[in-house]
Structure 1
């Protein structure tokens, strides 16, 4: 017997709806490579309906006192916690992620981040009122922007959706969110939960909306006249397209794009410890992370020792099924991603050496072995471009200046790390590295209180922290005559 794929539906104005024209796309489980659901392929009518719902809800939501918006977000956090197992199951079916790691590494941070932004709703800061011209008092108002069109990626469907909707709602905006076409299931479950909280507390149904679809759906959202802001987490190409589309009516744009994180290991580092931790930071989530530790730069005096240690760490890293508690990561997200990662390996230059992995695992689903590649040069494709898979490259450097040159010598500028026992060197490197985040003797931890975002082609705008919250607000000057 074959199981009929279940039908996923858009969430607009508090209701689940099919696409207006009935079009759908298949949703594939990356563990099996087989379709388990269909989702709407939303078109202009669906985007219009979602934007109209968000626009209608905006004045009411905007005018709530912050304490009321805080109450909503706190209830959402509680509801996510209460229904965590459902969210974990949906996310794993979306992505093939290990259940145990999704439970420990995603649900707690998501809940914490929502609670952080619930508090931020009541902590807007700005200049105090004052007189800067005789007889006049100036006041600064910080206000919500309006309707926000948000596009989330497939690598962390739940968490990236949380990074978008939580600060937007906390600041008083309403939301139309599109998940990736390959991972809509967990986002739609989140919509059900959020919608239930809004209904329970008597708030407008259009505050939070989710529509499914492909790139054309995202383009329609960004080009729509209603949203005042477009936010996307995705590829550099997608970010450029969003920025171009948004420029036509001068929408505000918030972009978190690709990464190619340098991991600079100096000769005084603990080689075994560094290799072990870098392997985890490079292979977690199958390397499908813009901040993943994918590009190691190691001092020439410890190069061979480090490569051997990293290759051993790769050999000890396990990929497999979601219910296996010993695995670090599951499959790549989709067939196209498997093809992309495999293509990088197939195109390796002759001077490169595959120290570990470099191949698909099994013939079912989209699993790829933890991979280490050495002998690379700075201008090699695999050094310059984002692989977005469980692949770590290794280059050697002679001194600090060359390490900085290699590290900064890519178009991405999201995250980086430095491994050394020399405090002064760590401080110098943190200043010289042109990346939005610099970790020292660690790689990949994030906290709600600190900003996440990059420079150059990694985009602009910040996720997490009060900086993200401020990105979802606008500033107004009010001047009044004292006469």
Structure 2
């Protein structure tokens, strides 16, 4: 039997728990249970499914301190961020999908051909294999479990190997809320377990939040193991476009929050600031001051804004981008002494558009700033990456926002803000940021498929190759 996996607190480097990984046989058993539970759960009324989700949301609220404790210990995110921000948002998501489950109705299409009546109905895709990331373990689990279950699917979820406990506890609470046994379960482990789940012949759909590289591997793997529906929310490289008429202080504050939230470990994080040349120096100075004001420290200190990065290896990776850059480090960029894997908010200027720091996903609190001239160049530079998840633009000119916003090739474009989300609004990207939507009714549609029921009730008047005589 393999040794249990050691979970480590990134704020201290100390062991917090040991967990046993699942085996391939465990994955087979979980998928078999999900397949067995599918007819009953898919056949439940929307109201019955909604009732379970609403009870689940209530139980998460009741266990908020416990769930926050598990996640803070494994991720190092500030306690207040988790307890008072992300958990309420997660339960809001669940309650939204509980309501949306009751509006996922088929369409009575009527008589599309003489002698026939057609009904267009939506039915659950089937068993879903969900792969959740380490940066937002519980919230991302909710983003997968809630819409899939609302649509009538059953789910086997694999949380990231180093951050499994909040998801495991959330699944326990789902069963306590009345979900049928087997309709949702969690399996644990690394690539072997993930591959066993994503390549399983009885899994009808894969839902992944992770890196673009992981998405490519899943695409390749599923291509040789049957045809599966895929939902891939992958990497990002969000631009922040600051025009000369913008409120520079507000733009700097928004970019700072966007770049440092969750220590920059966010696929929608602000990573590239493009400032119109007339205000470029002012933007650089405002960013320098704003980033220096971010308090990095103990996740349990209420004054802390951001905690550590997830691991020593990840911090080394983030710092490597800064060490290799040919640009000028305006602030930050120095690995602090002491325990934990902390990294300071960092600003780099003097870069070219094709520099590594501008093109590649860093996944840490590092912000690049570059100048531009005019709308056309701003649009060209913002779009000139392989990702397309999120972007923001800053201007007082409403007409400009309406002109430029639609030209940005990103799934979400915010104006005069960065990072706001709502349960009712879809989240997902273009290009190599993947396809498919989280949140909103769009997510519910991801986990359902349209079925055409065509009933013959009279002899057709016209016969052709598409209608039987």
* TM class, shorter-length: over 0.9
The equivalent position to 2:259 in structure 1, one of 269, 282, 300, is 282
* Structure-1 residue corresponding to 2:8: 28
* Structure-2 residue corresponding to 1:390: 365
The equivalent position to 1:165 in structure 2, one of 145, 154, 173, is 145
Within 5 A, what are the aligned runs for 1:161-240? 161-198=141-178, 203-240=179-216
Contact 1:69–1:118 (Cα < 8 Å) also in 2? yes
Contact 1:356–1:370 (Cα < 8 Å) also in 2? yes
**By how many angstroms is 1:156 displaced?**
0.4
Describe the superposition over 1:178-203 as per-residue Cα deviations: whole angstroms up to 9, x where unpaired. 010111111111122112112xxxx5
CA distance in 1, matches of 2:131, 2:420: 24
Contact 1:42–1:211 (Cα < 8 Å) also in 2? yes
The equivalent position to 1:109 in structure 2, one of 78, 89, 96, is 89
Describe the superposition over 1:83-138 as per-residue Cα deviations: whole angstroms up to 9, x where unpaired. 11111111101101111111221011101000000001100144323111111111
Runs of 4+ in structure 1 off by over 3 angstroms are none
Work out whether 1:45 is the aligned partner of 2:25: yes
Provide structure 1 residue ranges, at least 5 long, that are not aligned to the other structure.
1-20
Work out whether 1:78 is the aligned partner of 2:58: yes
Describe the superposition over 1:236-268 as per-residue Cα deviations: whole angstroms up to 9, x where unpaired. 000011111122201100000000001000000
* Structure-2 residue corresponding to 1:15: none
**By how many angstroms is 1:327 displaced?**
1.3
CA distance in 2, matches of 1:361, 1:50: 44
* Structure-2 residue corresponding to 1:118: 98
**By how many angstroms is 1:392 displaced?**
0.8
Secondary structure class of the residue paired with 2:450:
strand
CA distance in 1, matches of 2:106, 2:315: 48
The equivalent position to 2:228 in structure 1, one of 251, 255, 265, is 251
Secondary structure class of the residue paired with 1:452:
coil
Which stretch has the larger CA shift, 275-284 or 358-367?
358-367
Q: Normalising by structure 2, what TM-score?
A: 0.96
Contact 2:160–2:189 (Cα < 8 Å) also in 1? yes
CA distance in 2, matches of 1:102, 1:37: 20
Contact 1:373–1:394 (Cα < 8 Å) also in 2? yes
**By how many angstroms is 1:23 displaced?**
4.5
Q: How many residues align?
A: 457
Describe the superposition over 1:167-187 as per-residue Cα deviations: whole angstroms up to 9, x where unpaired. 000000111000101111111
* Structure-2 residue corresponding to 1:324: 301
Within 5 A, what are the aligned runs for 1:309-388? 309-349=286-326, 352-388=327-363
Contact 1:138–1:479 (Cα < 8 Å) also in 2? yes
CA distance in 2, matches of 1:455, 1:53: 35
**By how many angstroms is 1:363 displaced?**
2.7
Contact 2:117–2:455 (Cα < 8 Å) also in 1? yes
* Structure-2 residue corresponding to 1:55: 35
The equivalent position to 1:266 in structure 2, one of 243, 248, 256, is 243
* Structure-1 residue corresponding to 2:420: 445
CA distance in 2, matches of 1:128, 1:60: 24
User: For the structure 1 residues 126 and 403, does the alpha-carbon distance in structure 2 shift closer, same or farther, using more than 3 Å as the test?
Assistant: farther
Work out whether 1:478 is the aligned partner of 2:453: yes
CA distance in 1, matches of 2:41, 2:22: 26
* Structure-1 residue corresponding to 2:465: none
Contact 2:133–2:159 (Cα < 8 Å) also in 1? yes
CA distance in 1, matches of 2:74, 2:457: 60
CA distance in 2, matches of 1:348, 1:161: 35
* Structure-1 residue corresponding to 2:119: 139
Provide structure 2 residue ranges, at least 5 long, that are not aligned to the other structure.
459-469
Secondary structure class of the residue paired with 1:372:
strand
Contact 1:23–1:42 (Cα < 8 Å) also in 2? no
CA distance in 2, matches of 1:326, 1:309: 22
CA distance in 1, matches of 2:406, 2:420: 19
RMSD: 1.0
CA distance in 2, matches of 1:340, 1:277: 25
Q: Normalising by structure 1, what TM-score?
A: 0.93
CA distance in 2, matches of 1:145, 1:415: 28
Contact 2:106–2:119 (Cα < 8 Å) also in 1? no
CA distance in 2, matches of 1:120, 1:177: 22
**By how many angstroms is 1:477 displaced?**
0.5
Describe the superposition over 1:36-69 as per-residue Cα deviations: whole angstroms up to 9, x where unpaired. 2122222211111111111111111111011000
Contact 1:296–1:394 (Cα < 8 Å) also in 2? yes
User: For the structure 1 residues 428 and 125, does the alpha-carbon distance in structure 2 shift closer, same or farther, using more than 3 Å as the test?
Assistant: farther
Describe the superposition over 1:313-360 as per-residue Cα deviations: whole angstroms up to 9, x where unpaired. 1111011111111111111011221111011011111xx111110122
**By how many angstroms is 1:22 displaced?**
4.7
